[in-house]
Amino acid sequence: MGDNLYSDSVLAIEPQTGKIKWHFQYTPHDLHDWDSVQTPVLVNAEFQRRARKLLLQANRNGFFYVLDRETGQLLLAQPFVKKITWASEIAPDGRPKLVAGQEPSELGTKTCPSVVGAT
């Protein structure tokens, strides 16, 4: 159990040392197989009235994320599919607010997005 650290995550690694600078985990303890396979988009743009280096990703879990790519700070997480049933939102600390009863079960659980993900 637990978050399964670094799964379903993006990591910033210092190329000279190989040390992890920061990480952001999109779906801690992912029971739905929404591992992030989409390539993040890196942009330099103004966000919240400030020039920033950003990382953008539409994730298989149904949320669109904007991160500060220098610090890993979550700046925005918004749904991009019509109905997400597994989480009500992404908290400011980046953790999903889980909806009860959306875990896989022997009888089956209808969850959106499905096992193929939202992207």
Does 33 qualify as catalytic in the annotation? yes
Question: Residues 30, 33, 35, 93: which is the catalytic one?
Answer: 33
Closest CA to 27 of 78, 82, 98, 92: 98
Name the residues annotated as catalytic: 33
